[in-house]
Every structure is written in structure tokens, then in C-alpha cells.
Chains A and B, each alone.
Chain A
Amino acid sequence: MYKLHLILKYLLKRRIAWVSLVAVTLCTLMVLVVISVMGGWLNMFKSSFRGLSGDIVVHSDGMAGFPYYERIIASLKKDSDIAAAIPSIETYGLLNFGRVATLPVKVMGIPIDEMGEVNRFPDSLYRQHVMLEDKLNDKTLAPEERKKLERILASPPSFDLLDEMTVPLAALPSDLPIEKIDPDQDQIPGTVKLPDTAPQDLRGRLRYDAVRKNLVFQGPMKVDWKDPLASLSADADYKRAVDTLFRESNTADLIDYSQLAKGRLTGMIAGTGVIGIHRNHNGEWEGRESWKTSTPVGLTVLDISGGGGVSVHDKVTRTYFIVDDSRTQVWQYDNNYVYVPLDRLQKDLGMNLQQVSDAAGNAINVPGRVTDIHIKVRARIDPNDEPALNRIADRVRSRVHEVMHGPHPPGGPTMYGPDPRVETWQETQRIWINAIENEKMLVVFLFGIISVVAIFLIFCIFYMIVVEKTRDIGIIKSVGATSAGVASIFLGYGLVIGVLGSGLGLLLSFLLVHNINEIHGWLGRRLGIVIWNPEVYLFDKIPNQMSFHDIVWIVPIAILASVLGALVPAIRAASVNPVESLRWE
């Protein structure tokens, strides 16, 4: 009875102990917030990574890819645990925006209508998903419009232009015909024929540039490459041409993009970062209306032979029309990747099914190649269950080996080096996930070390209390308390401090984590403090979910640490000699 009574009395009367309580509270709060944000960040990464590939991926070791992918896919689909498998190609390319800017990009050829069967890539598309969802959230949306949007949302994604992007051709002057374009030509489409009224010195020097929805002056001009648009706008000849031809008209109104591109231009989806769309410090989109969106672009890739040989003479440049942008939330993807139709890329890379003749003039079918096969497992299997996924991956490996080394069509290649690698999504992304996991562990470790300070603080404060209470300990012992009983007072004291401190820390961290974005926004607005930069952390929102798993190990550790801090003072208290302590006032 006396232990509990004294613990409560000490807790209420000894205010110095409140410092320990605050220390435990702050440490628990700090570790829980850090681990929640870092853990949430890691989960977002994992979720985003998994959303970009299949649960299991068959990778080619080189850019030449591997043949017989259709047969591998057919074999894989016989596995009862595999729901879908789709081929894709990954390569490198140069992306040219209206001869104004060129970027190195990673190019992924995908069968976009099937993509949703293996991952959540279609959800990342702005015009075909995100924007539609945003519009559907509008309660005032007319029922017909809602139905239309829902229909678009339900349909598989495509590389076609949306109706939304169609602009009426109403204002196009009759004397300003748009030249028919060849989508395979290495040129910016939409060449403009100048009317006779156009100044003679401008003839042959103007082209319509859908990049800028305006005219491009093709003469010698000074271009500031840091800001090519500004230099174009500042060019007097260019301005004169625009004034002459279009006066106050908006060029966008003059061109019907759908007429221009549908069926004639190949669509491309670009990562948001590739076309300059990004979140600013407030998490708002910037660059959505940039000159790079909804534009024809030139993509140059290199033909890589089945044997892996490369020649710069085999470059292929194709004009695409950017129809959508993808925000996967993973920086590496959003800033580097463009997505194009698989069959088109396959053709450009020379990886399509081809007929060649042998020395005797016999036709030989060279099978098409891809670099990856993305596999989706059945819904009953948890993709986070690594052992289960590994078992399926083993079976995939066998099937791939069986096809690669099995009987092949006459004339086709019998071997393409080693078998393609088969990896689970965790293995594929291991390098990134491990990096973030290590970062999380490092941060938690560092904050954990800081939290050890709390143990020392408790130790010091409790030691001080024990020294101060030496006489009281003597009194209690003289009235019949045992040494163990005295020790348990201080251990119990530490326990209560730990329980209350970690409880308070848990409550505060719950409030803080759940409102972290609001608090962060307020700090940004009022004080200009921006801690979470969406450009750096890729996600525009700070993760605000707490993990029960984290709570169940952090809170007990906080309590244990508190008891540990009280241990030495408790032992000292237990060893107090009552006679010594009572001898002097």
C-alpha cells in the first residue's frame, strides 16, 4: 500500500520529477513522429514502386531483350497463381521538344490498354484518371457530364487524344491551310503555308509549331537556351509574322489537334517531370499549362540488334504527340520516363517480328523481342508476402527456362545468352527500398540515441530524489519497509513516469501526425517555414498515418527506458542504511 501511496505522493509533490515526465513524453513523441513519417514515406514508396511494375518481373539482362515472349506469357498464364502477364520494352532515348529543348529519357514501350491488369500505372495518368476523378468529385457536375466522365474513367487508358483536348477549327483562315503531315517524318508537324499576303521576307521561314501553339520563325535568330521562349517572343521578325498572320487570334483556336493528330500521330505519355510539371512548396501544381504539354515531340531511339550490337546509323526518330502525363509519385520515373505504344517502339528498335532471308534465299522469321514481362499474381496472394511471391517466381523461372531452351520455330534463334532474370517487385526495387529503409533506421537510431538522454535525465533526477529522500527512506525502513520494498517504490515511480510520459507522448504524437500537413501548411503560411519540400520528398503530402506495429514496440521501450533510468537510484535507495540516514537531521 505504502509504495503506491508514496509513488503518487512523490509524483504530485516532487515537481522535479515532472521534468522526467516531460523528457519521456518528448522522446516518445519525437521517435513516434519520426518513425511514423519515415515509415509512411517508405510505405508510399513501396506502394508507388509496386504500382509501376508487376508483382513479378522477367527482366532482360541487356537492352537487346529476349525472344519468344509471347510463348513465355502463354506458358505463364497456365499457372493458376498468375492473373496476367504483359510484355514491355525499356530503352533510352532523346526527346526533342520542337527543336527547342532536348532531354535524355528512359523510354518504356507498353501495351497501355492491358497495363491496368498488372499494375496501377493507369491511375497515375493525369488526363485519363486524376483529372477525371477530380472532376467527378465536383458535386455540381451535370449528370450527363458525370456519365461521360465515368465512361472515360472506366475505359482502358490509351495513347489517343481525348475529346477534351479537341479545339474547334472555327477561326482557321481559309487561306491558311495546314499541310498534311507524315507521322513517321522527322519533323515537327503542322507546317504552315503562308498566304500571298504574307511579307515576302517571311516566306519559307515560318512553320506552325504546336509546341507553342504558335508560329516558329525558322530564320537565323539569337536564342537564349536558358529561356528559348523569351528569346522567341522578343524576336522582332517573329512578332511581325504573328501580327501579320494571326493578329489577335489565339493560335490554339486555329488548330484542331484531334484532326491534326488522331490516327496520324502516335501518342506518348510523359512523366510529369519530363514535361516540367512539378509541385511547388505549397503542394500546388506548376507547369501544367507549360508549353511542353499537349505537344508533338521527336523521340530518337537506337535500333539494337538481337545480338546486342548498336550503330549510330540505326537511330530512329519518330514524332509523338504528348497526350497525357504520368505522376507515379516516384521521382526516378516521373522525371525520366516517357511511355509509348509497345508495338511502335518495338518496330523502331528493330525488336519486332521480322522476316529475313538466309544465304539460300529462304525466308526466316526472326521473333520479336521485349525487355520485360510484368506478371500480376492472383488477388488471393498478398504481394507483400515475399516467401509466397518467391515460390511463384521460382515457377516463373522454370517456365521461362523451359521456353527459352525448348524447341523453337525453324530459323529462329535458339539461344539469347543467359535466361532473362526473374525478380519479385521487392527484388527489383530493392536498391531504392533498402536505401529508404536504411535511412529510416538511421533516423530512428539517431533519435533513439537522443532518447537515451531521457534515460540519463531520469537517472539524474531520480538519483537526486533518492539523495534528497535518504532520510525518508530511513524512516520507512525503520517502520518496517524492506530494502526490496524501498527499491520497488523508485522502480514503480520510474514505471509510472514511463507509462504517463509515453502515454502523453503517444497522444501528442497521434495529434501531431494526424494534423501534420495542416501544421506544416500553417508554418509555411505564417512563418515561411517549409520542412517538407514536395520536390525533394516526391510526395506532396507528409505521411500522416501511425503504425500500430511501431506503437507496440516504441511505447514499451519508453516505459522500460524510464524504469531503467530509475534502476540505479532504486538500488541505491534500497541500500540506504536507516541508522546512517536517521542519525542527523
Chain B
Amino acid sequence: MKAAKIAPWVAAGLALVGAGVAAFQPDQLRGFDVGGFSRLPVLEGGRLKPIDTVARNSLLMIRGQQSFVYQERTVGADEWILDVLFRPQVADAQPIFVINDPDVLGLIGLKQTKDRYFSFRQLLPHIAEIQRQAEAAHPIEAKERSRFQSAIVNLFDRVLLYHKLKNTVQLVGTSGLAAEVESAREPGAAERQAALVELAQFRPLPPPVGARGDKWRSTGEALRASASAGALDPGLPLLARVGWAYSFQEPSEFNKSVSDLKALTASLRPEALAQADHETVFNRAQPFYVGMVIYVLALLVIFASWLWKPEILRPAAFGLLAAGATVQTLGLVSRIILQGRPPVTNLYSSAVFVGWGAVILSIVLERIYKRGFAIAVGAAAGFASLLVAHHLSGDGDTMEMMRAVLDSNFWLATHVVAITIGYSGTFLAGAIAIAYALRRQFAPRLDPTSTKTLVSMTYGIVAFSLLFSFVGTVLGGIWADQSWGRFWGWDPKENGALLIVLWNAIILHARFGGFVREKGIMAMAIFGNVITSLSWFGVNMLGVGLHSYGFMDKAFYALSAFIGTQFLLMGLCLLPRQFWKPRASREVDGQQAAKA
């Protein structure tokens, strides 16, 4: 009994300690304060962020991963960006461009290697051809491009991003930023400054005290200003020294220059430095990745509990689920603070939030019903949604600035959050129904009370989802009335939300009128997954309407596969009794016994 009491705390404590250890990474690399450099704030995409975020997102876009193995050593994003900025000859040799499309490989005459990764140097002879093909494909609308056209445009965009990063601080092939500062007024310097302004991917130099918060400058702009006004931007010589020290591999000089640059930023923009620091901690902790791992552990432990020592393993699984929820909550809160926005601002964050809502709901259900199903379903939902979120994060910054029409924290906090909780609820009801269908096939024994518990959980969650999706839809209508002048415009995203409301209403009425029983409700709840996934992702694939904020081509197949599996599960759920596993007959006996 005692072991059962402490099991959840031990399991949760171990998981949280593990998460803490994973968050810790050394700052020093071969004596260089790489961590200190990556914490410096810069302005990219209209937003202040640490160089660490720029490095991770860029590498994620170019390579699809946040680190890579080169010459039998793992190169992290922070080390990679230093090479890109200051030692391009090293970065050019690293295999960072992933190319999967066989036609693109054929076009540039590269052999399909084992790992499909190529260095910039390997691509260099073919750049002109890649650009020519990409420019030919560019005028075609994204959704009408062929596979080859999409792949070549995508490759060109990645090459361009790499090219811009390399030329952000100093132009490739020149003698570095220090020389550029010296010769800012000499003939020919103006052209180079113009090129730097044009190519800068981010703006590393903080604005002087008193200037507007978004007036960060690229090196090109700062050089130009110093050439015309004479006053040298105080950050320029420091950045030049950082570059010089790194390119000549002088650790002590590098570390000193980085700390000088940090001190300068602290005196000009202390809040930017603090925010960049926080974001770097967030990046390194990877709360959503760690949460995913903890949810898998919770799932494994709950599976094990059905075979062995349930009195200890079930509470331990609950502890793990709670630990996963804690990590995910911390991650969400961090994002809210960093962005200064409510939790859901784009497709990526909606996936994170849907999972979070489902996990929290299952924790509540487990506290009410205490039967372990909710742990399994919650852990599976949390894992699945974080996996989806992970696949949605490859397009770059997940905390991008909000377009003007969406720039309203009030509506983002009410309408979007309510709708997303409605998604959570509908998916959770579907997940419980799937658990019901699978359990009937695979569980060693079926007791009628458990089945009743599953049905009543599903019904309660459907009612909950109806409330939130209705309120969310209505709040969306009010927002639309405020900003576009119509309450309801039959826009695809609005229609998607309406479909969820209608479907949940149909489930409730069908059960209330007694037209469906246990199996029917469960199958309908699984169909709710189909409706919700179409409303959430499907409408973005149509590419019409005011809400089409994230077009995705690859996701189409994933969505089709998901819907296919849901139909299969519905079929499984609706199988008549004689197709269940043989021991089902015992349940019939049990039910009859209960009736008697």
C-alpha cells in the first residue's frame, strides 16, 4: 500500500530530474564561449531572438535537424552558425543540405548517397541551374507545382537562406568585418555595404538608447551610417573582433569580445538580453521533445501495469503523465511569456495546445474514474499531438510575428483558445472510443463496469467539446463581425468549426433520443476525429479563405492516412458481437448476471 502511495511521486520526480539534466548543455567548446555568443539577441523576421534560435531554425529548415554529425563529431546549431558567419570555408564543406527528390538529384548530377546530405561545396557547380529551374517554377502557385517543382523551389530557398546567413555579418570573399570598418569610406565600400544590407538575414547591432525598439541594424546599415555620419556604431568593432577571433581560432580573444558585446547590449537593451537568455534556456530544454519522451514512458508503464503489479505501476504511470504535463505546461508558459501572446498563434502552437488540453482533461478524468484508461489515452494523445507539432515546426520560427488582422490578444486568448480546447475534447473523446474498440479486441477480460466507465467518459467529454467548440465558434463570429463586418461568412475555417459543433450535437441528440447505444456512440466519437482533423488541417489545404494561414502539401498524405485509420477503427468498433474475441461471451454473462 505504501509503495502505491509513493510510486507516482518517485516516477514524476525521476522524470523531472531527467528533463532538468537534458536541459543542461556546456557553454564551452574547445575553450570558445559558444553558449555566450548564441545568447546574444538579434532581430530576425521582425522579432528579437537569440542567435541560438536563428541557428536552430535555420539548420532545421536546411537540414531538417537541429544538429548533425560531421567527421565523427556532433556539431550543434550554435557551433554551426559560428562557422557559417565567420569560417564559411569550414561550413561549406559540411553536409547540411538534405535532398530527397530523385529528379532534383538527377538534375544536379549528384549520386544518391546513403544519407542524402550534401555540402554547399558539392552544390556550388550547380547553383546556376538550380536557380534557373527554381525561377521557372516560382510563378506557379504553390499547390499547383509538381513534386519536382516544389522540391527545386524548396532547395533554392534553402540555398538562399544559407547564402544570406553567410553574408550577414561580412561578405564572403572579403577580408572580414574589421577591414570593412577601416575602409568604410573608401571607393567601392558603398557597393559592399549595399550588398550587406540586401543580404542580411538578421540584424545583430542594438539600437542606441532612445531609438525605437525595432531599430536594430544590420552590419551593412551600421557601416553605411558610420561612413556618412562619421560616428562609429559601438557594436561594429566588437562584432568585428568576435569574427576575427573565431576565424583565427583565438579562444581568449573570442571570449573577451563576446563578453564585451554582451556588456554593450546590456547597457543599451537590457530587456532584449534578458529575453534572449530566457529563450535560449527554452530552446535547450526542448520541453515539448522531453514531454513527448515522458508521455511514451507513461504509456509503456501503463501497458506494463495491465500485465504486472497494477497497484504500483498504475500510480507510477499517473505520476509520469503528471510530470509530462508539468514539462509541457512550463514550455507553454515560456512561449506565452516570450511571445507576449496567448498560447495559440499558429498551426504549430495549436498542435501543442491541443495535446496539452487532452492531457489535462485526462488527468481530471483519471482523478474522477481512477481506472487507468484515461492515463493511457492521455499519454497517447499527448505524444501524438507533440509528434504532429514536431513535424509542423520545420518551416522556421514557430514564434513568428502575427499578421495585422490577427494582432489582437483578446480574441486570440478567447476565440482561438476555446476552439482549440474544443479540438482537444473531440480528439480525446475519439481517443477514448478507440481505446474502447481496441480493448474489446485485445483485453484479456472485459468487465461491464469498465465499459460503462468508458462510455460515460466519452459522453461527458463530447458534451464538454460541444460547449467549447460552440463558444469558440461564436466568439470567432463576433471577432469576424468586429474586423470584417460579417458575423458569419461561410469561410472554410468557420465551416470546419461549425462541422465539429454539428457533429457533437448529433452525437448528443442521437444518444439522448436512444437511437444509438454503446457501440454507436463510440463509432460516432471516432468519426469526430475525422471531422476535427479535416477542420484543423484539411481546410488549410484548400488554400482559400481568410484563415488559410498555413498551406501544407506534404501533410495531405498524412491526413489521408489518418482518416483511413479512423474509418478502419470505426469498422472495428461496429463489428457485431460474434466477431469479438471469444471471451466476450463472458461479458454477456456478466451483463445478464448484473441484470439479474
Real binding pair: no
